[in-house]
Structure 1
């Protein structure tokens, strides 16, 4: 069961002017499940994307990167689950392009105006015939208010769909923001086994879309980890349909740019944190906050050492306050000149370690009280400077092994 996360209510998700969504059952891997989603964009939308840092990236990632260069005129997104189309070489690229050509023909647009996305099992041929056969049903289903259906349609090992909406004021106008994401395992930053799609009706110049997308990813999806593995297919797409009644955002440093980024970042963080809350086998949602670093980068370095440690994560699963494991992770994070005598460790409100050693006032029962909670904050003070950063993670349970052992069966 996910940690304090429930399925979205369809009526609570706002339609975004200029976006229609359709979902179908194409039988990509299994029958009887929603596994093919199309997002149709009105002409004139601005689109940005960021993708996995894994050099063994999937065919759709390669195609999307190419098509988002320059001033793209994207009219449709196509997402299939059940098959990642990764580790498939030139044949995988050809198959992805075939699906784009099929959707483009049905829409009367150019194939280069279609972005493909895949998630699922690696090293299996993409079943082009099933996807192409499912496209008419997906198009017939297309409607502005199908965000909840899309959140369900992009799931793999997720146990609940993930979708959030918000309203904001930008340039004196009301704007809408709605997004969906998927992911539960192979989750590590830059990015994770995740797909994220975030849309707004705000007016944003194409020249700033890639910067906006990168900054949204950096503040949200690049701050989560479940198991330390970086996937082949990770993609975050940000869409601005340019339908709202305000002057176009041409700089993120403008009043409108700052307001829009803050509102979109709020939704992006909810989507990213939902992935952690639904981590494979997760029972605890853990915030790791590192303060007092010289740079934010070294704070992240320490935070990820803690968040990736199997020993730390299994201790959280067992509610065992074996908190020396956290200090050990801080020590091997790779900061060469770290002074251990300046390190403090907190578990929520409990001051565990002071000046690099056990706090005389710390009691085991206080640590265990916190460890039994479903939401926990680990806070480390490095005593080196004023920088800070935060990462979100989860525990590591028996179910994680079971889920991944049985993934292909």
Structure 2
């Protein structure tokens, strides 16, 4: 192992090990998101097993409500676990979040259906979702801050983009498993027990993720700080910076809404609204995951070169103007090719915006409470906007009888992102100062090469 000893006597990451550090830290993020996606992908089957009511709409709404309930736990996890990560360290905190998430995953994978244990079945599924949501509240922030702190000068955008990129690997794997199950099993077999197979696979790889994450090294930035805030100081800092947190919540709204629209909601939308085959919907989701994986590091790297603000403003404007017209065109001409074309467009928006947004979020937060601030803003946005996107989309279609209405929800989220970007990047704002510091780091790196 390549490393060095800090003033505290602990081993910290050395530059040659950064690729390995990225792999170790994002592996847990991959697993957490893999299990989240599975719940959305198999919402149709889960609704039949755990929420069997006479109305298919009501059954699906109950399932998406439980899916969304996990996101309501994220702000609580962001504050409690985020404060722990800022105090105890990135490595210790990320092992804790992984442990809690694994407990929720095992619970959802193994709980019997409603016909076997009655109301206890949906109650246990809800508990599993709440545990997953609680851990996820700090997981994304912890991983993003870790990547930002190990990044080489002038490349923070590129490094932090791999947090979201690891999620896309999870999407591809989940969609590929779903596509394979629909090819190998009959619809009756998938509905009865086949949908559990991907969840069990997620349980099986938990031990390997623990091995990877336990070998994670603490960041040099965290080790170098003499003071780590206690819980009281964290709460006081969040109260002082509440305007920044709420603005950043709107900042994240664009990315989290688009993300859950084009990934988790796609199989249900394709099958139940557009009446495409399950295989077609899952294949589109798989290709969207691949597209996201390509655009995310490009967006992060481009923001390192030209700045965060131009990308954030440009993409949010495009999404605001085109999301609803694109959905109108799709529902008027439903087909596999048209669904793929629209979602690949939205994938471009998500990848470019998120690639710049995640690193900007790490730059705007006070350094001593960077994880909890990032996590709280992201969790609030996911709870208010993204996490309930499948439920809101389903409700809007039922309420308005307009199959394109999810595009209006995405346009609203884009407007939130645009307004928040302009506020955060006003002259002298914290985001502007963070970008100026990153620009100085880029110039320093160029000078060193010369």
TM-score, scaled relative to structure 1: 0.24
More strand by share: 1
Relative contact order higher in (CA < 8 Å, ≥ 6 apart): 2
Which structure shows the bigger proportion of residues in helix conformation?
2
